[in-house]
Amino acid sequence: MKRPRAWHALLLLPLAGVAVWLVERGRTVRDDPTAVLAALRAASGPALPEAGAAGATARSEPSTYTRDTLYEYIDGAAEAYLARGFDRCVVATYTFASETTEALDVTAEVYRFAPPGGAREQMEAERPSKAAPVPGMPDAFADATTLVSTRGGDYLKLTALGAGDAPPKALASVASAWLKGRP
């Protein structure tokens, strides 16, 4: 058997270099995975909770709108949104079944604004005059058929398409699920 020579040891130097690099790399602090996930969710755009999370029996397929297509959804009011920094939105309708009355539908709209102040300005412009703060939900106001809320650069607008005692409960249910799903 031949004895190892000096040049054989030189072949091990790259392997030793990789091992040292891996050890040093393992000692460095990386980004918090929770913070990375929250940033990715925020960058992905506004979102609405699933029907079950909102206490609804069904939710329509969400529609999305951008700066270029917002006028297709709210033709007359699109300019005010765009002036406040509107970026994109998602819209869906939740259905709440009832054993005693007709099903209640709630239209949910979440608008994303580039400057966070734009969301608050839009909410203040559209807040119903008789709306009161919603207990337990910061920056949320509601009347009998409408609930508006903001969180960061997102503006939530819920409209009940029905009457009776159920709308305030349904609105609060969707808003609560939305707030829980936000980073």
- In this prediction, residue 92 carries a pLDDT of 97
Q: What DSSP letter does each residue of 144-171 carry, written as one string?
A: SSEEEEEETTEEEEEEEES-SSHHHHHH
- In this prediction, residue 34 carries a pLDDT of 76
Run of H or E including 83 = helix 78-83
- In this prediction, residue 162 carries a pLDDT of 74
Q: Report pLDDT digits (tens) over 19-39.
A: 888 888 877 777 777 777 666
CA–CA distance, 145 with 172 (Å, rounded to integer): 11
- In this prediction, residue 82 carries a pLDDT of 95
Question: Do 86 and 68 touch, CB atoms closer than 8 A?
Answer: no
Q: From residue 170, give the alpha-carbon distance in Å to each of 2, 55, 136, 143, 154.
A: 83, 8, 15, 12, 20
- In this prediction, residue 12 carries a pLDDT of 78
Residue type, 136: G
Whether the predicted pLDDT of 45 surpasses 60: yes
Q: What is the mean pLDDT of the chain?
A: 87
Q: Report pLDDT digits (tens) over 62-102.
A: 999 999 999 999 978 899 999 999 999 999 999 998 777 78
CA–CA distance, 94 with 56 (Å, rounded to integer): 6
What's the 3-state SS for 85-123?
CEEEEEEEEEEECCCCCCCEEEEEEEEEECCHHHHHHHH
Whether the predicted pLDDT of 44 surpasses 90: no
- In this prediction, residue 42 carries a pLDDT of 61
- In this prediction, residue 90 carries a pLDDT of 96
- In this prediction, residue 121 carries a pLDDT of 95
Q: Report pLDDT digits (tens) over 98-119.
A: 777 788 899 999 999 988 899 9
- In this prediction, residue 99 carries a pLDDT of 74
Decide which of 76 and 4 is more confident. Answer: 76
With cut-offs at 50, 70 and 90, classify the pLDDT of residue 43: low
Beta strand 132-133 with 104-113 is: unpaired
Instruction: Please report, in angstroms and rounded to a whole number, the separation of the first and last CA atoms in the chain.
Output: 66
Tell me which residue of 59, 100, 95, 62 sits closest to 167, measured CA to CA: 95
Residue type, 120: R
